[in-house]
Amino acid sequence: MTIEENIVLVRRVYELLNRKELDKSYEYFAPEFVFHSPAGDWSLEQVKQADTSFYAAFPDMNVIIEDMVAEEDKVFVRVNYRGTHQGEFMGIAPTGNTLDITNANLFRIAAGKFVEGWNVTDIRLIQQLGAIPTQL
């Protein structure tokens, strides 16, 4: 795939997430997909479980692509997540707090599928839910 096709693919997946079409978004992931998260390496099944939990806790979640850079088979994307904490998340009862965080993701794409991903999560995710202080 070309760099431009990879960019279109990443945009398409984020559009599906915004429409809450999670199952449709997974069609663009290879079965052997590995996601390197701050919590460790996750399989595609683990990503699906985490996404289901995340979108249940933040049902009005909207993802905005802030920046995207692509080179060869990799696409870097900086995204902003905004939503309301309406369901349990990571053992935290719903707070009604607004979540407004930025994540950085790097994806490796092969044959039109995501095969590997890396993530840096904004610590404000937990701060905005009141689980840790906003000033350390």
Over residues 79-116, the pLDDT tens digits come to: 999 999 999 988 889 999 999 989 999 999 999 999 99
Predicted local confidence at residue 59, as pLDDT: 97
pLDDT over 90, % of the chain: 79
Sheet holding 40-43, edge to edge: 40-43, 29-37, 113-120, 98-110, 74-84, 62-71
Which residues make beta-bridge pairs with 59? none
Residue 5: closest CA among 13, 78, 81: 13
For 3-127, CATH gives 3.10.450.50
- Cβ(123)–Cβ(130) below 8 Å: no
pTM of structure: 0.87
Predicted local confidence at residue 130, as pLDDT: 65
> Confidence class of residue 26 from pLDDT cuts 50, 70 and 90?
very high
Those residues with Cβ within 8 angstroms of residue 21's Cβ, 6 or more apart along the chain or in another chain: none
Which comes out higher in pLDDT, residue 39 or 28?
28
Predicted confidence (pLDDT) per residue in 31-46, tens digit: 999 999 888 999 999 9
